[in-house]
Structure 1
């Protein structure tokens, strides 16, 4: 297939591109290479496949409407995976407009490109953060999610609603994937595992919010990519039993679907840190702090639909995943 991947120099995007190329697909990658974190890491990810004969890389911002239209018109991708977004719950409190430009305006341009150029399937990244104030565990795509606790979460919920409108009006198959705390090699420096590793090795204190009582459904990046691949290969389909009298939030009479991708095994943050200490062979000095604004105390993914419809469930253990990350970190930073 010819697949357009946005955020192709990002954490998840770069791993997905590598897998798509490995199986023989032609990939057009888009990334704006912004400086939200060190652009050198993005360049290093890109270097793994930039010279591949089946890969084209374009340094473009999703907010550039005409540039995105030109890409669709020229390359005519059959399928699209939208992973580009302004990430980070906490940064959305400081700089909310960045999320409007990338996550709302940029996503609209992707939807329009798909509509105008006959794309067979759009798969896009949503987030576990959409569950917001929900407290019923595990989180299910069949739960209502109308109470986001950050603008980042609200932008991801907006993506799901915008996709539904396009699926309903234009018959565009769209699938949203709610990722649960992704970690692993080539990760983002603003994420906890990366920050903790850097600080512990430097002998510095780590800030542990909610006094370490967070429980997260940490999901290894390779598990996420495997889920994306399986979903991409099967365009979203209508739920023939869907009823407006009793609407199911996770499906529709339109070709629109939502799935959780999580490890289905929540881990307390303090245990996560313990496993990191083992992998590093060094103890952490912790500063225990209260819950931060915009954060939710716990996440847990109900992945029943993913298992039943795609025969797939993330399987990588925390112990294995953290060890793989530490091995990569030491090699990349030569430490």
Structure 2
């Protein structure tokens, strides 16, 4: 298939593109390469996909590509260029992973989330409608569950009480997708990702922050005094879940929501211990209160996806963290 992946230079988008390219699909990748975190990491991901860019050349106006991968530096809010891309590429399937990420940053800069996650998403939906693309997979988030005291979180749970703008934008994506499925017969599949981590991961997330701090002998902030639980999901398992969805698209209803998680919440103290073990150092811990917009626990029920596709994550936290720390040391040339 010819598959459009937005957010292709992002953590999940990069890994998914790499896997789908290896299977012979043609990938049309778009990313705005924003500076929410270090742009060089995004450029290096693209290099792994066969596209070389220098920071001093940004923004890139031309189409870059190699073999069955083409890259377009493009913001989803740019309606004219997005429409042109759809009109000239004959897309079979759209996978929308582009978004302004980060729960805490959404408190500081809410408009960035509305522009990217809401305006950008409606532009994707409009292009799907206009160019008769009948299948759309898009990233939602476990954050839509808010501070639910029911566990594990199931797709049928009510998710009407978000506690961050980020979560609210992801919930809005699910509602907007439902409208377009109903009115325009577009099959939309929303994926609620649960704390994705692994090699090439985002620098604003705990595995990266903790590894960097420990290896540099700096203290780490331990929120809610360590009393937190997260359903950490290794990147290979996430990509496997997306693949399972792609391969079973014909079997799904017109509108679906799936959790993609590990189904095994990990206590923050155990997660820190795994990072310390892989780094070979003990962390200097600074105990902190709960952060605004954060949730106490995430816990994915994956029964629905497992029943329909056979999805079953395989990577435990110690194995996954070991792979991440090994990548981190190699990427940043730490002996």
TM class, shorter-length: over 0.9
Unaligned runs of 5+ in 1: 240-254
Q: Alpha-carbon deviations, 1:128-154, whole Å to 9, x = none?
A: 000013210000001010000000000
Q: Does 1:228 align with 2:227?
A: no
Contact 2:198 2:234 in 1 (8 A): yes
- The 3-state SS of whatever aligns with 2:75 is coil
The Cα shift of 1:229 comes to 1.3
> Partner of 1:109 in structure 2?
123
Within 5 Å, which residues of 2 pair with 1:1-335? 1-51=1-51, 52-235=66-249, 255-335=254-334
C-alpha distance in 2 between matches for 1:236 and 1:25 = 18
C-alpha distance in 2 between matches for 1:232 and 1:124 = 12
C-alpha distance in 1 between matches for 2:250 and 2:7 = 22
Compute the RMSD of aligned alpha carbons. 1.0
C-alpha distance in 2 between matches for 1:50 and 1:82 = 21
The Cα shift of 1:238 comes to 6.5
Contact 1:121 1:236 in 2 (8 A): no
Contact 1:237 1:256 in 2 (8 A): no
TM-score under structure 2 length normalisation = 0.94
C-alpha distance in 1 between matches for 2:173 and 2:90 = 22
C-alpha distance in 2 between matches for 1:4 and 1:224 = 18
Change (3 A) 1:238 1:327: closer
- The 3-state SS of whatever aligns with 1:154 is helix
Contact 2:139 2:192 in 1 (8 A): yes
C-alpha distance in 2 between matches for 1:275 and 1:59 = 37
The Cα shift of 1:212 comes to 1.0
C-alpha distance in 1 between matches for 2:182 and 2:331 = 46
Unaligned runs of 5+ in 2: 52-65
Runs of 4+ in 1 over 3 A off after TM superposition: 236-239
C-alpha distance in 1 between matches for 2:130 and 2:124 = 10
- The 3-state SS of whatever aligns with 2:5 is strand
Contact 2:147 2:296 in 1 (8 A): no
C-alpha distance in 2 between matches for 1:265 and 1:49 = 32
- The 3-state SS of whatever aligns with 1:107 is helix
TM-score under structure 1 length normalisation = 0.94
C-alpha distance in 2 between matches for 1:120 and 1:65 = 20
Contact 2:278 2:321 in 1 (8 A): yes
The Cα shift of 1:119 comes to 1.4
C-alpha distance in 1 between matches for 2:108 and 2:278 = 33
- The 3-state SS of whatever aligns with 1:185 is coil
Q: Alpha-carbon deviations, 1:264-301, whole Å to 9, x = none?
A: 00000110000111111000000011110000100100
Contact 1:179 1:260 in 2 (8 A): yes
> Partner of 2:54 in structure 1?
none
How many positions carry a matched residue from both structures? 320
Contact 1:2 1:78 in 2 (8 A): yes
